Amino acid sequence: MRWGHTDDLRQAANLFGSATFTNRYSNHPYADFLLGIPNSAARNFPTVPLERLIRTYSTGASDEWKVTPRLTVTAGLRYLLYAVPRDKNGRAALFDPATSSIVVPDGSLNLVSKLLPTGYIKVVEAGQAGYADNLLEMDKNNADRVVTSMVKE
């Protein structure tokens, strides 16, 4: 069994803002700059850090058979199971097209920004929308591996 932790923190390019000055107002870009009249201005907001917790379970067995002095057969069986990543702070969401709503993990409604306009889009908890607590179900059917090899010596 392995436990993993990933921090995904990528900040936007213009975190501190950017302004573009052209010759739109005074026929010279530097004059527009001195006048303080940008053609466009933009600023991105700081990224909220995501701390994902990932669990991986694995087991396996293998054996070797010497069929003849010159032929060895190796066979093995391995099973890997990757659990659905879970955010440490409950900051995860998905869009449910069937209900046109944003679904957040149970108990995470208080983490939704208060700046989100009410009536714009409905935000519901996972249990209310019929999802698992961590929003995604683990797929347990596609992780098995069978390995065989033959070596002629």
Reported as a pLDDT band with limits 50, 70 and 90, residue 113 is confident
Same domain for 150 and 75? yes
Q: Which helix (H) or strand (E) holds 33?
A: helix 29-35
What are 38-77's pLDDT values in tens digits? Answer: 999 988 877 767 777 777 777 888 888 888 888 888 888 8
Same domain for 39 and 61? no
Q: How many domains does the chain have?
A: 3
Same domain for 60 and 39? no
Reported as a pLDDT band with limits 50, 70 and 90, residue 2 is low
Let me know: does 59 contact 79? Beta carbons within 8 Å.
Answer: yes
User: Taking all residues of the chain, what is their mean pLDDT, rounded to a whole number?
Assistant: 80
Same domain for 109 and 152? no
* Cα–chain center distance at 118: 26
pLDDT at 3 over 70: no
Range of the domain at 34: 1-48
Same domain for 93 and 78? no
Same domain for 96 and 123? yes
Structure tokens at 63: 């054996």
Same domain for 96 and 108? yes
Cα 119 to Cα 24, 39, 104, 106: the distances in Å are: 39, 34, 17, 21
pLDDT at 18 over 90: no
Reported as a pLDDT band with limits 50, 70 and 90, residue 10 is low
